[in-house]
Amino acid sequence: MRKPLLLTLTVLAALAAGWGAVALYFSTQAKPANNRAATQPESVATTPMQLEYVPEPIGAPASEFVRPLISHIEIVDLDQDGIADILYCEGQKNSVRWIRQSPRGQFTEFVIGENIPGPVHVAAADLNGTGRLDVLVASMGRILPTNERIGAVVVLENLDNQRFEKRVLLEHAARVTDLRAANLAGHTDGRLDLVVGQFGYDQGETRWMENKGNWQFESRIINTQSGCIHTPVADFDGDGRPDIAALISQEWEEVHLLRNLGGGRLADQVVWGSTNEDFGSSGMTVADVNRDGRPDLVVTNGDALDYSGAGTRPWHGLQWLENKGSGFFQYHRIGNQVGAFSPAVADLDGNGTADIVTVSAFGDWGRPNASSMIAWLNDGRQNFTPVVLARTPTHLITVAVGDLDGNGVPVLVTGGFHIFPPWKDMSSLTLWRRK
């Protein structure tokens, strides 16, 4: 008995010795010098894939747009039939489209708004208490940089969940980048006011428009800085009144809280900012990240649209501002991602925590490890692990997350914004279901 065992052990030792000798030899070979790529953001996401998503093109094909410029997507049950739909806007044909899901699993696209130059944000809200959701469209006039006052506030009034009438409520203004509805004035009859973010370029502003009824609105400018990108609404200070958070880019790179003091008064206060004037703020959303009952802010910085070729920046990425109450926010950096845009928050892995997904609109697409979509998985203590979900299609500028399948599992929808080369791996809308 002992001899076969001895033989076996000896053979194994010989195998290991042979392997070890060769391994030792390779380890002594000269290594390449420190490579700048090793410190680039893309190499951070080395965690083995824990989530996998399967893409499926949806809506009008990319070929219809030649080079799609899908600027924003919203998942919303527009006709309120209990099944979530997709709303989006695009800047190639300047249209707003509704991909209606009815019955579940069957998607039909309708163009509900046309000739809206440079549409970049859509939202749904019942502006006048009709029981139907109107579509709010932020119109830049032109998406590429210009200071021309060509922005507009456009509402597609929902007449009967089939026909939508275009109403232009503000025009010849600094370019409009965000439009939402909120009851800022304390209406009791179902009316909602409008929150308007205006990037402009050299000059811009953030305003609210009080709904006076009968499609009449009265404007008030609250913040006088250019570069407003997003204006999410929530009761940030817990006083029962909706407030506005404004992400302001350009040379400012700040987040402002526009606190609703009641009586139609809003006060502007800065709550955070970067001293890097090239920070590239690109998107902001509101979510209770740490589940403490207070709405927090999640912010991406990845915009390099000013520079031709939109080069990468090592400081691009993701952060969140923890709402500590009383208008105070604490900054937490989450991670790096080149060209990061469009933070969306959802429990992606089903562990009850707030995860985040972001996309990349500008990347070094020549590199094989460039990612276009990353999930940031929350361990419950707000430590986030990046997981690359996709490397193609490229040039994704918007992602929305919602329960499209009605089973509680978040579905992602991304939009391609192909304004810079390379002109391959293009997409219009892509639906992503968890594998």
Partner 1 sequence: MASKISRAKSASKATPSPRRVPWVAVVGAAAVLGAGSAVLVLRQPAAEQATEAAAPAGAEAEFQQRLAELRARVAARPGSPAELADLARLYHVNGYNDEARAAWLELHQLQPNDARWPYYLADLARTASDPAGIEEWLRKTVEIAPDYAPAWLQLGELAFKAARFEDAERAYRRRLELVAHDPYAAFGLARVKFQTGRRTKGKQAIEELLRATPGFSSAHNFYAEILAQENKTEEAADARWRGTTSGRFRAADDPWLEELRDWCYDPDQLVVWGEIDLQTKRGDHGRKFLERAVALEPDSSRAFEKLGEFYLEQREPEKARQTLERGKHRAGASESLYLGLCRAYEMLQRTADALQATEDGLAIMPDSSALYSSRGLLLGSMGRFDEAVESMRKSIELAPGSPSAVSSFGLLLLHAGKRDEAIAQFKRALQIQPRFHQALTTLGRLELEAGRPREAANYIRPFFDQFPGSRAARDLMSKLYIGFALEAVRAKNEPAAEQACREGLEIVPDSPELHGFLGTFYAHQNRVPEAIASLEASDRLRPNDPRTMLPLAQLYQASGQIENARRLLARAEAEARRNGQSDAAAQFAELLRRLPR
User: Binders of partner 1 among 73-112, rule CB under 8 A?
Assistant: 91-94
Question: Is-contact 98 110, C-beta < 8 A?
Answer: yes
Shortest Cβ 418–partner 1 spacing (Å): 10
Kindly tell me which of 109 and 171 has the beta carbon lying closer to partner 1.
Answer: 171
Shortest Cβ 285–partner 1 spacing (Å): 18
CA separation for the pair 160, 246 (Å, rounded): 33
Shortest Cβ 340–partner 1 spacing (Å): 12
CA separation for the pair 387, 379 (Å, rounded): 13
Shortest Cβ 223–partner 1 spacing (Å): 8
Select the residue interacting with partner 1 from 7, 49, 111, 261 (CB under 8 A): 7
Torsion sign across C-alpha atoms 134, 283, 358, 312 = positive
Kindly tell me which of 139 and 378 has the beta carbon lying closer to partner 1.
Answer: 139
What is the number of other CB atoms lying within 10 angstroms of the CB of residue 19?
Answer: 10
Select the residue interacting with partner 1 from 4, 26, 103, 407 (CB under 8 A): 26
CA separation for the pair 195, 361 (Å, rounded): 26
The stretch among 17-25, 339-347, 355-363, 374-382 that binds partner 1 (CB under 8 A) is 17-25
Q: Is 272 in the site for partner 1 (CB under 8 A)?
A: yes
The stretch among 22-30, 71-79, 129-137, 337-345 that binds partner 1 (CB under 8 A) is 22-30
Residue 225: closest CA among 245, 249, 209: 249
Number of shown-chain residues binding partner 1 (CB under 8 A) = 74
Select the residue interacting with partner 1 from 28, 34, 46, 106 (CB under 8 A): 34
Within 252-271, which residues bind partner 1 (CB under 8 A)? 254, 268-271
Strand residues in 274-364 grouped as ranges (E):
281-287, 296-301, 317-325, 328-336, 340-346, 355-360
C-alpha angle 12/16/21, rounded to 5°? 150
Within 299-328, which residues bind partner 1 (CB under 8 A)? 306-309, 311-312, 314-315, 317, 319, 328
Beta carbons within 8 Å of 371's beta carbon, 6+ residues apart = 42, 45, 337, 360, 363, 388, 389, 390, 391
Question: Is-contact 151 174, C-beta < 8 A?
Answer: yes
Within 392-421, which residues bind partner 1 (CB under 8 A)? 421
